[in-house]
Amino acid sequence: MPKLLLIIFIFLLLLCIKGYAQNIDSTLNNLQNIPTKYITGINKKVTQYTNRITSKTEKTLTKLSRWENRIKGLLERASPETANRLFGNNQLTFTTLLQQLKNGEAITLQYQTTYNKYRDDVTTSIKYLAQQKEYLHSHVIKKVLTTKTKMEQLATEEDKVEAIKQFIKERKKQLIEQAFRQLGHSKYLTKINQEIWYYGETMKNYRELFNDSKKAEETVKGILNKIPAFTKFMRENSLLNSMFAQSGGLESTSGIGGLQTREGIGELIQQRIATGGPNAMQQVQQNIQMGQNELNNMKDKLLKSPTFGNGGGTLPDFKVKPEKVKTFKQRLQYNTSLQFVKNNSLMPAVADIAFGVGYRMSEKFIAGIQIGYKLGMGRIERIRFSNQGINFRSFIDSKLKGQLYISGGIEMNYLSKLPQRATAIKYSNGWQQSILTGLTKKINIKTKWVKETQLSVLFDFLANQYLPKRNPILFRVGYNF
Residues with Cβ within 8 Å of residue 419, at least 6 apart in sequence: 346
Which portions of the chain are predicted below pLDDT 70? 1-35, 110-112, 240, 242-287, 289, 291-317, 345, 417-430, 467-468
- Answer whether residue 258 is part of any domain: no
The domain of 161 spans: 25-243
What pLDDT is attached to residue 31? 61
pTM: 0.74
- Answer whether residue 375 is part of any domain: yes
For the beta carbon of residue 291, count every other beta carbon within 10 angstroms: 10
What pLDDT is attached to residue 239? 75
What pLDDT is attached to residue 143? 86
Among 181, 208, 243, identify where a domain stops: 243
Kindly report the CATH number assigned to the domain that includes residue 455.
2.40.160.20
pLDDT tens-digit profile of 221-267?
777 777 777 778 877 777 767 665 544 444 444 444 455 555 666 66
Which of 416, 336, 345, 342 lies closest to 369, judged by CA?
336
Longest Cα separation, the chain: 114
Tally of structural domains, the chain: 2
Which contacts of 430-434 are long-range, i.e. CB under 8 A and separated by 24 or more positions?
A: 430/389, 432/462, 432/466, 433/462, 434/410, 434/460, 434/461, 434/462, 434/463
> Are 70 and 215 found together in one domain?
yes
Q: What is the DSSP string of 395-463?
A: EEEEEEETTEEEEEEEEEEEETT--TT---TT-BTTEEEEEEEEEEEEEE--SSS--EEEEEEEEETTG
- Answer whether residue 291 is part of any domain: no
Q: What are phi and psi of 47, to 5 degrees?
A: -60, -45
Instruction: Name the β-bridge partners of 356.
Output: 335, 370
For the beta carbon of residue 50, count every other beta carbon within 10 angstroms: 20
DSSP state of 62: H
DSSP reduced 3-state for 374 = strand
Among 243, 265, 288, identify where a domain stops: 243
> Are 66 and 196 found together in one domain?
yes
- Under 8 Å between Cβ of 387 and 417: yes
For the beta carbon of residue 264, count every other beta carbon within 10 angstroms: 11
- Answer whether residue 306 is part of any domain: no
- Under 8 Å between Cβ of 207 and 213: no
What pLDDT is attached to residue 253? 46
- Answer whether residue 300 is part of any domain: no
Among 195, 213, 243, identify where a domain stops: 243
- Answer whether residue 381 is part of any domain: yes
Side-chain-side CA neighbours of residue 220 (13 Å): 22
- Answer whether residue 249 is part of any domain: no
- Answer whether residue 410 is part of any domain: yes
- Under 8 Å between Cβ of 303 and 315: yes
pLDDT tens-digit profile of 314-364?
556 678 888 889 999 999 999 999 998 887 767 788 899 999 999 999 889
What pLDDT is attached to residue 478? 92
What pLDDT is attached to residue 304? 47
Distance (Å, rounded) from C-alpha 191 to C-alpha 171? 14
Distance (Å, rounded) from C-alpha 248 to C-alpha 241? 9
> Are 353 and 210 found together in one domain?
no
